[in-house]
Each structure stands twice: as structure tokens, then as C-alpha cells.
Structure 1
Amino acid sequence: MNRSKYFEYIDEKIHTLAHRIQTKGKLNILNLHLHSENFYLHFFNLLYGYELINLNSSAQNVEAIDLIDHKNKIIFQVSATCTKQKIESTLSKDIFKKYNDYSFKFISISIDATDLRTKTFSNPHSVSFDPKNDIFDIKTVLNYILTENIKTQRELYEFIKDELGGEIDIVKLDSNLATIINILSLEKWDDTHLDDNSNSFEIERKIQFNELDDAREVIEEFCIYYKKVDEKYAEFDLLGANKSNSVLNSIKKEYRKLKKTENKDDIFFNTIENIKNKVLISNNLNNIPIDEIELCIDILVVDAFIRCKIFENPKDYKYVTT
């Protein structure tokens, strides 16, 4: 395994975690944030040689401080909110009187912090804090990893694989998923594609039956494209037998893997995430911006939901009007 493969995997997984954090309404943000605290604790200990512990493990919800290294006298805050106001609010907390000889560092776990590193911050307790060097984000961490030797990158890869799952795919293969994404990406998804045949009452019944709350907004937004997706599938099937069926089966397969997850919204959004990962490692994916890829995948998964391919159907469910 070469350096580039290890780094590509690390890059993908860190950005995936950041994406999940950014979509706050789609996942349980509190649980995800707590997971991120512990992830970055071990990640930074491994990467920078710190001896961080989670302060919340001994004292719940300590203000301003998430991680602490008593040996190196470092305090970390892990946050999905990356603003000047957030950092200044943290620096104003009285708890810093207790740790006045510690340095403060801030980790932005979802948003680029380049602009923040150029700002001056109110620091009433005169905490040791250098914005240029003490504000971390994904970009700075990955740039640091990029310069590390292959042994360190391999150790980071093994850690992230255990924490976040998945393996590196050495050989990229063609997939029908990528082909349909290529086709859908050429379409203009706006009001001209509205579908008058979608049965909003039946779709609402299925949403309620499966207790989907956070996913409701996405389903309602993209179910209107059912007819257009159906047309694209028909075109796709002209390329060979079972083309559209293989795509729907791939979506159903990822859903089945997650089916036992307790939170139904997590199942829905993790299905989307897993399909995205499959598409991104496909050899035949065109050069498409990531936000357009995500749009097309959202449309495909919602379509699979409407077509009875994923999630349970209420009695006598009919997804289109006749």
C-alpha cells in the first residue's frame, strides 16, 4: 500500500465525518458530536503525540473544555460551530482561571477555519492562545498528515479504519450506480420536472408508518421528480437488461445492512451516505462536482423509497395515482 492510498482513505473518512456533522437535522447531532470528541482525542494523541483525555468523562458538560492534556498543559475545545463569537465566548469562561498556565486550542470539526486564523480575539483571562497555530480544521490536519512518513500514515489509516470503518479499494471498478449518476447529472432538476402523478397522500402515509421525521423534508423535496427518474431509468435500460434493477438493488442492499439500526432517520441518511461512497469509488464516474453528485443520490434514494424498494410499506400502499 503506498502513501497516496493511505492519505486518500484518511481524507475521505475525515470529510465524510465532517459532512455528517454539517447536516445537523439529518442525524442526532449530540451523539455525533460526542463521538467526534473521542475520535479527535485518540486521533490527535496519535498524530501529534499528545496525552489528551476527555474531561467530560469525569465531569459532565464542563464549560469551554472538552479535551485536556495535563502533561503538556493543553486544553482543547471540539466544536461544530466555527465563529469568532464562539471562540471569544469560550475564552471568557471563568474556568480558565483554574488552568491559567495551560494553552488553549480549538478544533473545528466540520467547517474551514482559514479566515478565523487571521483574526484577533478578546481574551479576558490572558489564556495562551495563538489563532494562527492553535485553530485546527480538516485542511490543516490533512496538510500535516500529507507530510508524514508512510509508517505514520499507515498507523493513522488503521486507527481511522477501526473508528470509522471501511477498507481502501485498491482497484476501482465500473458501476451502474455511477452511470445513472452521470445521466442524472446532465438533467436540470427544477420545477419543469414536477410530477403530477406522485401520490403525496400515500407517500405521507409511508413516511409516518416508518417514523421518519428528519428525512421527511428530503423525501418531500425530491419525490416530485418520480416521473423524470422513471424516464431516465427507461433510457438506461436501453443500454442492457437489468440496468435499472441493479441500481435499485444496490440501494436496497445498503438499506438492508442498516435495517436493524434503531433510529429510522439514521437508516435513511446512512443509506444515502453509503451509496455516495460506492459512487465515489467507481471508475466510470464523470468529473462531477460533489454537491451535484449528492443531489442526484438524494433523488435516487427518495425514488427507491417511493418505489417500495426501501423501508416498510403501510397496508395497501400505492405510490402513484392511476
Structure 2
Amino acid sequence: MNRATYYNFIEERLITLCTRVELRGKINILDYHLHSENFYRDLFNKLYTWNLENLNSLVQNVEAIDLIDRTKNIIIQVSATNTKAKIDSALSKPSLFSTNYTGFNFKFISIARDANNLRSQSYTPPTGINFIPATDIYDARSILQDIYNLDINTFEIIYKLIKSELGRETDVLRLESNLSSVINILSKENLAPVDLNANINSFEIDRKIDFNNLNTSKEIINDYKYSHHIVDRIYSEFDKSGCNKSISVLNTIKGEYNKHSLESSGDELFNLVISNISERILQSSNFEKIPQEEMEMCVGILVVDAFIRCKIFKNPNDYNYATS
């Protein structure tokens, strides 16, 4: 599901940016602070359809104001310091008392830490400046919430921006994964569907599907369950050579399931597992690039196989996928 893929990537990159801004600030490396002004300018323009400009590039050192939208009367301070004192200080700067900004709405973006505690505080903006803390203070959490509720087309636009600005930096951090090793092999197999498979009991699998309320995922499971014997053969070949690839792959899939099983269930959880496993594979250094549709199919086959093998989702009483 594209929405889950987009969101997971955006969430990881925004949180990473917040963490790096905070840590680098502690050792007085402030380049990310400066770059964040333009990043949030572009992000907010696409997310909220604003027309923000970086005021610092137009007028040097305007205190308390980093971004401005003159068409919607918005002024924004972008800061890694998220304290009430910081906002109070900004609201008291002489620049905000200028008649140039009468009728403008002041907003504050915390680019490092969560700012939820600041929204319940009281502030005194200058006369003519509007500032509502509950809605005018932004942080990663509030931004991600707004992104999560986007229509899919805007979601994709935000994803492309984040990927362009904050995409993974170097390949030196990309590690090999057993998941990718299996996907590389599976992609070369003949995965044409077959009508019968002596290794599985379709009735039992249908029972497990119903037991876990997998309504829309049922079609995927039924399409890919007949590839179980191919995955089983690949795993067996690894196991004969003493490798732990089958165990590690199944444990990775189970780990993704466990990570999200407390807050998600049913089709949403099934799609999350597929999405997160796909992301892991894409970030593996040993992944042999194949068309996206083929990769999604291979990942789906692995996840369905883990479903059949009792590695993910709850089993109904006396569940036995193997045909007797």
C-alpha cells in the first residue's frame, strides 16, 4: 500500500532530522538549523498550500521572523529551542511591533523536540499579531499527523519532497540482508500460479484468514499461497548448507508484525508488514534491482508464507496448514 510506504519513510526521515538537529546543536554544529528554514518553507508550502519565503534571504537578521507569506499574512519562527521563554522572546522583539506585520498570524516551528507542552501555555503577542498556541505551534508529531490525513496525491508530493531533501545519505550505511538474498532468488523463480499444492490445506488457511478479519488481504493470500512450496524449497536449501537465512527472514517478518500488532490489526496490520519489509529490502546493499511490481509480488509471497507457517497473526483452534 503506497500510503503506508510513504508515511513510514516520511516519519523516519523527519524524526531523524529532529534528532540530528538537537545533537549537532549540543556540539555547536548549526548547519542543519540554517538548512531547516528552507526545508520547512518548502514542506509547509506543499503541505498547507502556502507561499512562504525565507525572509532572511530577503532582509538580513530580522529578529523573530524566518519565513513569511505575504499573501496569507503568515510569519514564522523556525527554532531548535522549544521553550516558552523562546516564544515569549520572539513575541517581544521590536520587529513584531512594526506596522508592517499588523494583521499577520505568528507561527512557531520546533525543529528538534516535541512541543506539545507549549500549546497549553499563555502568551502575549503584540497588538495586531494573531497567535493561537493550540494551532500555531508545530513539531514533528503535529506535522506527521497532518501528513497522515492527506489525500494520496498530496501524500505522494510530500513523499517526493522528503525523499529529495532527506533521502538516505550514503550507501556505506546500507547493509546486506538475508531478506534481500531470498528476494533475489525468488525473483528468478517461475512464480506462475498453480491450481494445486499438496503442501497446504486451503480450508485451514481460510479459517485463519476469517479468524483475523483479513477481508481485503484475503485475495493476496489466496493468490500467493500456492507459492509456499517454492519458498519452502528455497529455505530448505539454505538450511541444508547450515545457513540461518530462513530463520532470520521469518524472524524479521515476525518482528515487523509484533512491532505494530498492539496498535493495528486485520488488513491494516497485514499491509504494514508488507510495506515495512519492502522498505527494508530497498535499503539493503545486496538487493538486485527488479521492477517494483515484481518486488511487491515477491515480498507478498514471503509475508503470505510467514502467515501460513504461523509466524504472524493469531491461529484459530487446532490450526494445521499442512495437508494430511
Output the TM-score relative to the length of structure 2.
Answer: 0.52
Does the 8 A contact of 2:193 with 2:223 survive in 1?
no
- 1:289 CA displacement: 1.6
Letter in 2 for 1:17: Y
1:289 aligns with 2:301: no
- 1:202 CA displacement: 0.4
304, 308, 311: which one pairs with 1:309? Answer: 311
1:16 aligns with 2:10: no
- 1:294 CA displacement: 0.8
Counterpart CA distance in 2 for 1:193 and 1:315 is: 27
Identical positions, percent: 43
230, 236, 239: which one pairs with 1:237? Answer: 239
Aligned to 1:259: 261
Aligned to 1:185: 187
- 1:228 CA displacement: 1.7
- 1:138 CA displacement: 5.1
Matches within 5 A, 1:155-304: 157=166, 171-192=173-194, 194-304=196-306
Counterpart CA distance in 1 for 2:202 and 2:162 is: 50
Q: Secondary structure at the match of 2:224?
A: helix
1:14-68 CA-partner distances (Å, limit 9, x unpaired): 9933999xxxxxxxxxxxxxxxxxxx9993427898269xxxxxxxxxxxxxxxx
Letter in 2 for 1:318: N
1:267-311 CA-partner distances (Å, limit 9, x unpaired): 111001010111111111112222111110000000000000001
1:143-171 CA-partner distances (Å, limit 9, x unpaired): 8995xxxxxx4xxx4xxx9xxxx999860
Tell me: CA distance 1:177–1:145, structure 2 relative to 1, closer, same or farther (3 Å). closer
1:90-124 CA-partner distances (Å, limit 9, x unpaired): xxxxxxxxxxxxxxxxxx9656xxxxxxxxxxxxx
Tell me: CA distance 1:287–1:198, structure 2 relative to 1, closer, same or farther (3 Å). same
Tell me: CA distance 1:199–1:225, structure 2 relative to 1, closer, same or farther (3 Å). same
Q: Secondary structure at the match of 2:262?
A: coil
Counterpart CA distance in 2 for 1:215 and 1:209 is: 13
Tell me: CA distance 1:261–1:139, structure 2 relative to 1, closer, same or farther (3 Å). closer
Output the TM-score relative to the length of structure 1.
Answer: 0.53
Comparing 268-277 and 235-244, the one that deviates more: 235-244
Does the 8 A contact of 2:224 with 2:301 survive in 1?
yes
1:201-250 CA-partner distances (Å, limit 9, x unpaired): 10011111111111111111111111121111112324433220110000
- The CA RMSD measured in Å over matched residues stands at 4.1
Counterpart CA distance in 1 for 2:266 and 2:195 is: 29
Counterpart CA distance in 2 for 1:222 and 1:250 is: 19
Does the 8 A contact of 1:193 with 1:225 survive in 2?
no
Residue-pair matches, total: 201
Q: Which has the larger radius of gyration?
A: 2
Does the 8 A contact of 1:180 with 1:236 survive in 2?
no
Counterpart CA distance in 2 for 1:191 and 1:70 is: 59
Letter in 1 for 2:218: R
Q: Secondary structure at the match of 1:191?
A: coil
Q: Secondary structure at the match of 1:314?
A: coil
Letter in 1 for 2:244: N
Tell me: CA distance 1:239–1:70, structure 2 relative to 1, closer, same or farther (3 Å). farther
Aligned to 2:71: 71
Letter in 1 for 2:262: K
Tell me: CA distance 1:50–1:178, structure 2 relative to 1, closer, same or farther (3 Å). same
Counterpart CA distance in 1 for 2:315 and 2:273 is: 17
- 1:196 CA displacement: 3.1
Does the 8 A contact of 2:209 with 2:218 survive in 1?
yes
Does the 8 A contact of 2:47 with 2:158 survive in 1?
no
